[in-house]
Amino acid sequence: MPGTALLHQFRHQRIALLTTYLNNGKTPVHTPVSIALDGDRLLFRVGKDSSTAARMTENPLVDLRTCTFRGEPTGAPVRGRVRPLSGEEAHRAARLLARGHLITRRWMLPLSYRMLRYEPVHYELLPVGDDAGDNPVEKVAG
């Protein structure tokens, strides 16, 4: 799979900087997200009603790069399309994102999600090549 080499830089990362684009396609919005690798798949989650999720619904073409815990970029961006996960894929993504964070992500976050009525949506990043063009916004017919 061609994207596997691109995702190698995220192997030891827990946080990455997700760049989505506003409707004009030129204004980037950066959001640190928790990530997990599942073989050659890169998984992350955002809130269902968040503006990040809305931008990804409008334009699934995003950039992801390694970053520090504070969200400062440390690596080159990887261009990709996001694909929302559901069913067993979403449950597996939730388990992988919770791995290694027994108290925080397995207990405290799910409890706070329920209390705040926050519904996470899990996504997979599918790397794309240079054929996506120079324009960060490439509308997908739906």
| pLDDT tens-digit readout, 1-26 | 455 667 788 988 888 999 999 987 78
Instruction: Provide the residue range defining the domain that includes 80.
Output: 3-127
pTM listed for this prediction = 0.78
CATH code, 15: 2.30.110.10
Determine contact, residues 18/32, Cβ cutoff 8 Å. yes
Residue 37, domain member (yes or no): yes
Least confident of 11-15, 21-25, 56-60, 97-101: 97-101
For residue 135, give every residue at least 6 positions away whose Cβ sits within 8 Å of its Cβ, in sequence order, or none: 25
Residue 132, domain member (yes or no): no
Pick 138 or 45 by higher pLDDT.
Answer: 45
Residue 136, domain member (yes or no): no
